[in-house]
Amino acid sequence: MSITLEQAASTLNELKCRTNFNIKNVTEYMLPELKEAVYLHVEGKIPLLIIRPAFEVFSTELATIEGVHAKYDYYHNAQMTRFPTRQYKGLNETHYGLAFRFDNVEAIELFIKRLIQIVKG
């Protein structure tokens, strides 16, 4: 079972992630005290958290957190403007990242805390 968008958004707010904007079902958050963006997107009714593709080397580790599930292909969305671009389906390059879904609020908390540790090095 997956959590709701409201649960995901309130958990990110409780973790002191800052919201920058919300466009077409995509909300940009900045990790607390860091200049690292993550995006919250709704696919159907399932919220996905998307991180930069540079963290691909850590995706297996992040997916081993209980309740965290990695999507096994890059996630593309033109609104993720802080992420790199690549050719996907259209003529123009599109921003892309790594998407994860979560079973519960605790999984998001553990995921964000581990991501902050990774970013800080």
Per-residue pLDDT of 3-27, as tens digits, reads: 999 999 999 999 999 998 898 889 9
We report the CATH number of the domain holding residue 60 as 3.90.1150.40
Cα–Cα distance for residue pair 37/67, rounded to 1 Å: 22
Residue 23's CB is within 10 A of a number of other CB atoms, namely 12
Question: Are 25 and 41 within 8 A, CB to CB?
Answer: yes
Q: Is pTM, for the whole model, over 0.85? A: yes
Query: In this predicted model, what pLDDT tens digit does every residue of 63-107 receive, in sequence order?
Result: 999 999 999 899 999 999 999 999 888 889 999 999 999 999 999
Residue 102's CB is within 10 A of a number of other CB atoms, namely 24
Looking at the 3D structure of the chain, how many domains does it have? 1
70 forms bridges with which residues in the sheet? 100
- Show the domain range for 28: 5-120
